Amino acid sequence: FYALKCFSIQFSALKTPWRQVSWGNQADLQYVKNFQLQNDKVTHVRVLLYGPVGAGKSSFINSISNVLRRRITCPALTNATNEEEGSFTKKYETHNIKKDTGQFYPFVFNDLMGLEDGSGRGVRVEDIKLAMMGHVKEGYKLNPASPLSTSDSGYNPSPSPEDRVHVLVCVHTGNATEINSSVLQKMKIIREAASDLGIPQLAVLTKFDEACPETDKDLKNVYKSKLVKRKVNFDLSSKLGIPLNFILPVKNYSEETELNDDVDTLMLSAVRMMIDLGEDFIDSKL
């Protein structure tokens, strides 16, 4: 009875949402579509995604591409099998999103191997630090056993302002019980390194709909979900120190074959914040 009661409390919905959302509003879509950098030192905002293996980093990139291209796309390869097999992403790759005109949007996303428990597994913290500074070359195959060194062919000794990371995004899954202590420590080190470089940071919470029946039934319940609020407050804000207003729940496209307005609303809100923070960093630091 106690377990059933706890389950009911955890997944019951709040009466009023703890954050207001303009569902179906086209303003964010138009803003992102019309976005242009005013700084002539760079042609794009570079967004680096990091987080535990299986959090949905590659799916997040694909979902953004879906929203902007108005169809299902797959610029970043993903894996639907068990995350215990390790990270599917092996290389440091830049993902561009093409406009209807044939040109590309002035923001790009870099995907990384996921963080894993212990040493010798998953992306190295040292490699993420080097990536933030622009020292990792495109296509470099990440090695969990050994960090990139200055003598490696994948090391970029003279990064340009465009090679550097302008926004760091933590991608965390909402369907996990809690963050592994070893992975959490790595995430804290990465956050501290980004702070030292002055790089703006935010977090996105994925896969919460897989653990919360209320949001699975209706995505508009996301900010009424007690589970989502607990994940945002406890896992990402309290444990990692990310301010609440820089944590955004999103739903990746995973089983859908057609676009969904509610999915797009959450995704566009996140993208808009990323490119705004990136532009602010470029204007002030580069």
pLDDT value at residue 77: 61
Which domains are seen in the chain, by residue range? 28-284 (3.40.50.300)
The DSSP 8-state label assigned to residue 154 in this structure reads T
Distance CA 217, CA 176 (A): 19
Q: How many CB atoms lie within 10 A of CB 180?
A: 16
Q: Exposed (0-12), middle (13-18) or buried (19+): which is 269, by Cβ within 10 Å? A: buried
pLDDT of residue 279: 97
Is residue 170 within 8 Å of residue 114, measured between CB atoms?
A: no
Q: Among candidates 243, 237, 248, which has minimal Cα distance to 274?
A: 248
Residues listed for the chain? 286
Backbone angles phi, psi at 9, to 5 degrees: -65, -45
Q: Going residue by residue through the chain, which has 286 residues, state the pLDDT in tens, using 9 for 90 and above.
A: 333 333 444 556 899 999 999 999 899 999 999 999 999 989 999 999 999 998 999 999 999 999 999 999 987 766 555 444 556 678 999 999 999 999 999 999 999 899 999 777 899 999 999 999 999 999 999 999 999 999 999 999 999 999 999 999 999 999 987 888 999 999 999 999 999 999 999 999 999 999 999 999 999 999 999 999 999 999 899 999 999 999 999 999 988 999 999 999 999 999 999 999 999 999 998 8
Task: Tell whether pTM > 0.85.
Answer: yes
Distances 42 to 94, 109, 158, 286 between C-alpha atoms, Å: 15, 15, 15, 9
Per-residue model confidence (pLDDT) at position 78: 61
If phi > 0 it is left, if psi is from -120 to 50 it is alpha, else beta; for residue 134 that is left
CA 260 to centroid of chain Cα atoms: 20
Token representation of residue 36: 């242009």
Cα–Cα dist 268/66, whole Å:
11
pLDDT for res 81: 52
Strands 93-95 and 107-111: antiparallel
pLDDT computed for residue 79 by the predictor: 59
Closest CA to 70 of 267, 276, 264, 270: 264
- Angle among Cα 212, 216, 222 to the nearest 5 degrees reads 70
264 with 192: CB under 8 angstroms? no
